[in-house]
Amino acid sequence: MKRSQHLVGVLLAAAALVGITSLFGNDYYLRIVFMMCVYYLCAAGMNVLVGYAGQKSLGQAGLFAAGAYAVALLTTRTEMNPWLALVAAAGISAVCGVLIALPSLRVKGPYLAMVTLAFGIVVEKLVGEWTDVFGGAQGIYGIKALTWDGQPLTQLQWVWLGIGLCALAHLLLRNLLEGRFGRALLSLQADEIASSSVGVRVYRAKVIAFVVAAVTCGIAGALVAQQNQYINSDFITFHLSIFILLLVLFGGAGSQYGPLVGTIVLTAVDAALARWPSAQHFLYGFLLLFALYVMPGGVTGLFSKWFRRSAEAPEPSKAAAVPTRIGPGGQGELLVVQGVTKNFGGVKPAQNVSFRLQRGHIHALIGPNGAGKSTMINMLTGLIDPTEGSIQFLGQEVSGRPVHSICCMGMGRTFQNLRLFAELSVLDNVMLGRHSRMTNGFFASLFHLPNAKREEAATRARALQLLDLVGLLHLAHHPAGSLPYGLQRRVELARALATEPQLLLLDEPAAGLNPQETAELGQLLLRIGKCGVSILMVEHHMDLVMSISDHVIVLDYGIKIAEGKPAEVQANPRVVEAYLGVDEPEEEQHALCAA
């Protein structure tokens, strides 16, 4: 659905809900609808963190408390306008999101969940026992409610406000998640190493996801406090964190409509079982296990295939012009490796290795298995730091730089073992390659400003051009993981080219390819070289190496044993010995047999 059509649809749905709720004469039902709005705000932000970034958090009750107690303290101890207090509560919640993210994101998996759980428990204890500030079980009374025309909002007006905020949150998050930042967050969930290799700042993206979840949850907490004009520690429980997580998982994590479905269903169930708290807790535990093991895609995941768009070939006009220039080309030294050594305990996959790469050349790094070739590629791209030595790219030292920074400098790569974002489309994979080249920031994306529109259109057009270059234009909308292995290799190559590299590092690009595919790859690499990209490839297919390389470097047990033109290297006795071994002298063979 086009963005303008979606906007109209959301506005019409919001207007319809406002009209329907206007007919409600019972404050109890209005209260249920209001709590649906509150829980949707919590779940929508949590979906960014869990469904997109893949970070499991059990501390949302603490962020809910941050917003609730912020607005409570600001309106009871100062003369701040309650509307300004609501905005301030969102900002305070964002700060709390950063504070919880910084230590939490240094761990992964279950450890991350445990750290966030600890945060939620600490906040629960803090508001329950620091009575001088937070009131404990007695709570804080006299919180100023939001007003309209000088009068506190009625129950119906609270519902209208909740509907409006939910519609706004949905539209803003859709802007964010359907563009540059949404792709980046999904890439984190799939493969953080591959994500950083295309220029995504992994840690920063995770922090952004935490902050988004914190802001929406903080606003929800502030609304509850202002609507009740009262807040105490009974609102802040571990049960709340589990319920918010359940809203996302049950509705469908990673789906923009999953939080809405989960909120409507579970809030209605929650209201129906309000008289039986023990039954509530049992049902939540059951539904959480059910969602995790029986329908991991949630309710929306069961029906998503019915609504999935059929793959359509992109318009020829958008991809007709195959790019003639990717890198700057030119002449001179591009990369200088000087005395690089790497120690893994007693193992040394690189020992005082030195070489220089020239612009406009196709270089090959070869050697027997275990020679240290992939380790060298990983050191060049920042995945591994060398123990000793210097690596200079474009005259700048890259040792110790983060992976995304080296990518931004102009060094792209593929991996020995495929690292595609398999659930994303081929087009989205390649568009992710241009993440670091896009200039639209967080707020430009959130509000879909003209700069974000231009960058998205330019990125899409460039990605289609690169897919045309590698012969995959007709498969642009297919899931990358559904393609045959040889075509997946080409997708990874196109994604690396989308980073606009001056130097392209290929780690065994022909691995798993048949002879015809290998020959086609060789012709493709020659075409890429003519587009201004210098290449360094690690490869075992000697026919491919000798047919397209301008310069060959040979490693054996981490030591450079030869370097030069393909014919020279092929005739080098040390290279022959490294690959084929040498016959033992006849006398030694007799001696060994006699022994």
How far apart are the C-alpha atoms of 62 and 127, rounded to whole Å? 10
Residue-level pLDDT at 351: 93
**For residue 585, which phi and psi values (nearest 5 degrees)?**
-55, 150
Token pair 């009374």 in the structure block, residue: 141
Return the SS3 of 476: coil
Q: In residues, how long is the chain?
A: 595
**79 close to 251: Cβ distance less than 8 angstroms:** no
Task: State the average pLDDT over residues 43-52.
Answer: 95
List the structure tokens of 590: 């007799």
pTM for this structure?
A: 0.90
Mean pLDDT across the chain, nearest whole number?
A: 89
Q: What pLDDT, in 10s, does the model give residues 110-135?
A: 888 888 888 888 998 999 898 888 98
Residues near 589 by beta carbon (within 8 Å), at least 6 away in sequence: none
Residue-level pLDDT at 591: 38
What single letter denotes the amino acid at residue 108?
K
Report the greatest alpha carbon distance in the chain: 107
How far apart are the C-alpha atoms of 269 and 263, rounded to whole Å? 10
How far apart are the C-alpha atoms of 31 and 588, rounded to whole Å? 93
Among 130, 145, 144, smallest CA distance to 236 is for 130
Of the segments 149-153, 163-167, 289-293, which one has the largest average pLDDT value? 163-167
Task: State the average pLDDT over residues 502-512.
Answer: 94
Residue 432 has pLDDT above 70, yes or no: yes
How far apart are the C-alpha atoms of 523 and 520, rounded to whole Å? 5
How far apart are the C-alpha atoms of 119 and 105, rounded to whole Å? 13
**Span of 215-224, 313-322, 440-449 with lowest mean pLDDT:** 313-322
Q: What pLDDT, in 10s, does the model give residues 387-408?
A: 999 999 999 999 999 999 999 9
**541 close to 572: Cβ distance less than 8 angstroms:** no
Token pair 């009209």 in the structure block, residue: 19
Give the other-Cβ count within 10 Å of 537's Cβ.
26
Confidence of residue 308 (pLDDT cuts 50, 70, 90): low
**For residue 347, which phi and psi values (nearest 5 degrees)?**
-95, 135
Q: What percent of the chain has pLDDT over 70?
A: 93
Residue-level pLDDT at 324: 65
- End-to-end Cα distance, the chain: 80
List the structure tokens of 193: 């190493």
Confidence of residue 224 (pLDDT cuts 50, 70, 90): very high
**65 close to 92: Cβ distance less than 8 angstroms:** no
How far apart are the C-alpha atoms of 67 and 306, rounded to whole Å? 39
Q: Could you tell me the sign of the dihedral formed by the alpha carbons of 571, 576, 577, 581, in that order?
A: negative
Helical (H) or strand (E) element with 190:
helix 180-190
Residue-level pLDDT at 386: 95
Residue 516 has pLDDT above 60, yes or no: yes
Task: State the average pLDDT over residues 473-494.
Answer: 94
Task: State the average pLDDT over residues 84-101.
Answer: 94
Residue-level pLDDT at 503: 96
CA angle 55, 60, 65 (to 5 degrees): 155
**DSSP code, position 584:** P
Among 281, 298, 283, smallest CA distance to 238 is for 281
Residue 229 has pLDDT above 80, yes or no: yes
The residue with greater pLDDT, 3 or 592, is 3
Residue 310 has pLDDT above 50, yes or no: no
Residue-level pLDDT at 587: 46
- DSSP string across 253-321: TT-TTHHHHHHHHHHHHHHHTTT-HHHHHHHHHHHHHHHHHT-TTHHHHHHHHHHPPPP-PPPHHHH-S
Confidence of residue 582 (pLDDT cuts 50, 70, 90): low
Confidence of residue 29 (pLDDT cuts 50, 70, 90): very high
> Residue 536: beta bridge partners?
363, 505
How far apart are the C-alpha atoms of 236 and 286, rounded to whole Å? 22
Residue-level pLDDT at 320: 46
List the structure tokens of 243: 């319920």
Cα radius of gyration rounded to whole Å, the chain: 29
CB burial class (10 A; 0-12, 13-18, 19+) of residue 383? middle
**71 close to 226: Cβ distance less than 8 angstroms:** yes
What single letter denotes the amino acid at residue 401?
R
Helical (H) or strand (E) element with 230:
strand 230-231
> Residue 553: beta bridge partners?
365, 563
Task: State the average pLDDT over residues 355-384.
Answer: 93
Give the other-Cβ count within 10 Å of 487's Cβ.
18
How far apart are the C-alpha atoms of 59 and 105, rounded to whole Å? 13
List the structure tokens of 90: 């969102």
**For residue 367, which phi and psi values (nearest 5 degrees)?**
155, 165
Of the segments 2-6, 181-185, 289-293, 319-323, which one has the largest average pLDDT value? 181-185
Return the SS3 of 503: strand
- DSSP string across 91-139: HHHHHHHHHHHHHHTTS-THHHHHHHHHHHHHHHHHHHH-HHHH-TTT-
